[in-house]
Every structure is written in structure tokens, then in C-alpha cells.
Amino acid sequence: MTNNRSFTRRSALRTLAGLPLAAMVSMPRLASSAQAEYVFKYGNNLPVSHPLNIRSQEAAARIAKESNGRLEVRVFPNNQLGGDTDMLAQVRSGGIEMFNAGTMVIATLTPISAITAMGFAFANDQDVWKTVDGQLGNHVRAAFAKVGLHTLDKMWDNGFRQMTSSAGPIKTAADLDGIKIRVPVSPMAISMFKALQAAPTSLQFSEVYSALQTKVVDAQENPLVILQTAKLYEVQKYCSLTNHSWDGYHLVINGRAWRGLPDDLKAIYTNAFNDAGLQQRADLAQLNQTLQADLAAKGMVFNTTEADSFREQLRKAGFYAEWKKKFGDEAWALLEASVGKVS
């Protein structure tokens, strides 16, 4: 495994300070596109300071080096190429070559991918990686191939999602009654929060900050690293530690573009991004040890939650039964073989 840079606590806090890309002098420079036989555009929805973009830049530099400049990967962070729905359409059409598809976002195209975001399915990171690197992950990746997308083997981490609100803490399922909460453009996210008796509104991530600022919605749910890098702490006061759903990214590639690469470049690309993905997982695990304290220092108020109240409400509303039927017995059995009984 190539490790171009250790991700220390100091470097983590420096990158999370939101420096512009030009100021990140440690970001590797890519080979000139004039020398490249192949150019892949990689669009994503995350700020430049997010560990995904830091490690993606490193993977791009490694690819340029190991391919002797034959293959260049241009990274476009922070919704530069459009919102999630736009980039998903572009990677399918070939307008861009790669996109970091969130588990629930790409479920609008391949519904089975949402199974790894199932409410309260995972107890910890170990459960997650055992599942997404195993048979269920392979089952999901096979579904992407059927719609013309190549998928790299290793998912990248976004973390466990937490609920935030400007109105007050969310301690039990009853506190969600009627609350206007932003969720991803995802049928399962809408279904889950309707089952919890909230009033979910689907918005692309690029719209979240302004929607919270203008009170179009009062709440949202995302991992702590997103609260930090997207500065959502500026427009949300309360953070309730629900761990209600895990979120990660599939790096999906336009199938025609992938087939057009020579085998040696495919191997370089795959190894670089899979290795970088494993490093990014470790980065996020390290950051999560300090993020709560960092966000509290910025004014966020944290509270614990009664997880059983949320699970019971989901059961009562028929959420698990509905999604088991939608995903099918085979996929559900693969999930429960990895993590134990879910519903």
C-alpha cells in the first residue's frame, strides 16, 4: 500500500479549518493534461477540506506518477459540477467519468444500494466494513454493473449519521413529531423519517446550508464530519447522537470510459483509489474521536438519545417489513448474516 502522507491530528484540524484549495500547499500537483492519453473527471459533493478530497487528490497524484502521465484524474470537489442528482446523471451519460455516489443517493438508480443505510442496522464501524467489503457489498456492486457503472471495490466512509435541529434536542422518537427535516434525495430516507412521524424534505446537499439558514427546514441529519466541513454548526444549535444510519460512498465510473482504459491503467487506477479509500476510513475514524469536542467549542449542544424508542417506532410503522420486502429475501439474509437480526 502506498501512503503518501500520514493523516495526523494536526493535519486533520488544519484541513478542517476550511482552507481554500490554493492554500493547501501539500496538495499534490497532477501531470499536465497535455501529456495524458486519458483524462478522467471526478466530481464529488464534499468540501476540499474533507478527508475524501484530500485522499482523492493523493490517489490522483499516484495515478499520474505510476502511469508516467498517461492517465490524469481531475478532481472537482464541492459540487462544482452540480448537485448529486446532476453528477449521477453525468456519470451515466459520460459527461464525467467518476462520481462519489452516496448510498442513499444512488439508490434512486439501484434501489438495493440503500440497504447499507438501513436504520439502526450497524452497531459500529467493524460491522460496517465486514458488511460492505463482504457478500452484501458484492451484491450491491453487481447491481451497479447492470446499469452500466463500474464500481471500485472499497467504499469510502462518511460515517454514522446524527440528527441536528435549531429548535431543540431530539432525545426520543416523539421529539421528531412534525419536525421539518432535510433528508437526501432518497426514497428510503423519506420513508424512514415519515415512519418516525417527522416531515421530511428531500434536498440536494448543495442546498442544505441555505435551507437551514432560511428556515425552509428546521433540522437535518448527517455525520459529524459533514457538520464540521460544511459549517452546518453555524445554522444548527443542537446535535442528537442517534447513529441512526451509516453513510458511505461508492466510487462509480462510467462503464464505457472504464472499458476504454488499457488493463495496466485499470490496475493502477484501482489500486490507487482502493488504497486511498482504506486510508480515508482511518482518517475519519481518527477525526471522529475529536469532532464532538471541536463542534461543542463552536457552540453546538450535544445530547444522547434513547435508541430503542426510534427502533420501536420504526417497527410499529412497518418500516422494516416494508424494506425487507423491497430489498428481497436474498439481500436481507446477507445483511442479517453479517450484523444479526435487524427487524
pLDDT in tens, 35-51: 899 999 999 999 898 99
Residue found by looking up cell 493523493 in the block? 58
* 47 SS3 class: coil
pLDDT band for position 8 (cuts 50, 70, 90) = very low
Angstrom distance (rounded) from CA 82 to CA 100:
13
Angstrom distance (rounded) from CA 243 to CA 163:
8
Angstrom distance (rounded) from CA 45 to CA 53:
10
Query: What mean pLDDT comes out for the span 215-233?
Result: 95
pLDDT band for position 34 (cuts 50, 70, 90) = low
pLDDT band for position 101 (cuts 50, 70, 90) = very high
Please report the domains of the chain, with CATH numbers, ordered by start residue: 38-339 (3.40.190.170)
Q: Output the pLDDT for position 291.
A: 94
- Beta strand 149-151 with 180-183 is unpaired
Q: Is the pLDDT of residue 257 over 60?
A: yes
Q: What sign results for the dihedral spanned by CA atoms 252, 256, 261, 266?
A: positive
Count CB-CB contacts under 10 A for residue 305.
20
